[in-house]
Structure 1
Amino acid sequence: MDIQHLKYFVAVAREGNFTRAANKLYVTQPTISKMVRNIEEELGVTLFDRSGKQVKLTDAGEIILVQAQNIIKSFQNLSAELDDLMNLKKGSIHIGLPPMVGSRYFPNVIQAFHQDYPNISIHLVEDGAVKIEEDVQNGTLDLGVVVLPVNQERFHSFSFVNERLMLLAHPNHPLSQKEVVQLVELEKEPFVFFRRDFTLHDRIITECVRAGFHPNIICESSQWDLISEMVVANLGIALLPETICRQVNEDQVTVIPLIEPVIPWRLGIIWRKDRYLSFAAREWIRYTKRFMGIED
Structure 2
Amino acid sequence: MDIHHLVYFIEVARHRNFTKAAQALHISQPSISKMIKVLEEELGVRLFSRTTRQIELTDAGRAVLHEAQHIINSFQNLKSELSDVMQLKTGNILFGLPPMIGASFFSKIIGKFNQQYPGITIKLIEVGSRQVEYGIEDGSLDIGVVALPIVKEDAFEMLSFVKEPLMVITPNDHRLAAKAKVSLVELKDEPLAFYREDFSLHDTIIERCSERGFYPKTICESSQWDFIAEMVAAKLGVALLPTTICRDLDPKRIKSIPLVDPIIYWDLAIIWKKDKYIPFAVKEWIKFTSSLLGINYKIN
Q: How many residues in Structure 1 have an aligned counterpart in Structure 2?
A: 296
Deviation at 1:52, TM superposition (A): 2.0
Deviations 1:196-243 (A, max 9, x none): 121111111011112222112122222211211222222221110001
**What amino acid does structure 2 have at the position aligned with 1:294?**
I
Counterpart of 2:284 in structure 1 is 283
1:197 to 2:198 alignment: yes
CA distance in 2, matches of 1:81, 1:240: 45
Q: Kindly report which structure 2 residues correspond to 1:154-165, keeping only aligned pairs within 5 A, or say none.
A: 154-165=155-166
Deviations 1:170-202 (A, max 9, x none): 222232222122222222222111111211111
Q: Secondary structure at the match of 2:248?
A: coil
Counterpart for residue 146 of structure 1: 146
Q: TM-score, normalised by structure 2?
A: 0.92
Please give the alpha-carbon distance, in whole angstroms, between the structure 1 residues aligned to 2:22 and 2:212.
82
Shift, 1:8, TM fit: 1.2
Partner of 1:160: helix, strand, or coil?
A: strand
The answer for the alignment partner of 2:171 in structure 1 is 170
Give the letter for the 1:2 counterpart.
D
Conserved? CA contact 2:163–2:267, under 8 Å: yes
Secondary structure of the residue aligned to 1:293 is coil
Question: C-alpha deviations, 1:255-290, integer Å up to 9, x for none?
Answer: 111112111111122111243332222221111112
Q: What one-letter code is carried by the residue in structure 2 that aligns with 1:198? A: F
SS at match of 2:197: coil
Partner Cα separation in structure 1 for residue 209 and residue 195 of structure 2: 15
- The alignment's C-alpha RMSD in Å is 1.7
Measured in 1, the distance between the counterparts of 2:146 and 2:293 equals: 17
TM-score of the superposed pair, with normalisation by structure 1: 0.93
The residue number in structure 1 matching 2:109 is: 109
| CA–CA distance in structure 1, aligned partners of residues 229 and 74 of structure 2 | 58
Whole-angstrom CA distance in 2 between matches of 1:197 and 1:60: 62
Q: Determine the structure 2 residue equivalent to 1:181.
A: 182
Corresponding residue number in structure 2 for 1:40: 40
- How far apart are the structure 2 equivalents of 1:39 and 1:191? 76
1:2 aligns with 2:2: yes
Q: Which amino acid aligns with 1:76?
A: Q
TM-superposition CA deviations, 1:59-98 (whole Å, max 9, x none):
3222211111111111111221222111111121111111
SS in 2 for 1:193: strand
Give yes or no for contact 2:162–2:267 (8 Å, CA) kept in 1.
yes
Matched with 2:227 is 226
Unaligned runs of 5+ in 2: none
Q: C-alpha displacement at 1:118, in angstroms?
A: 1.5
Segments of 5+ residues of structure 1 without an aligned counterpart are none
Distance 1:250 1:80, change over 3 A: same
- Local SS of the residue matching 1:177: coil
Which amino acid letter does the alignment assign opposite residue 164 of structure 2?
Answer: E
| Sequence identity percentage | 52
Report the secondary structure of 2:176's partner residue: helix
Match of 1:64 in 2: 64
**1:264: which partner in 2?**
265
What does residue range 206-245 of structure 1 map to in structure 2 within 5 Å?
Answer: 206-245=207-246
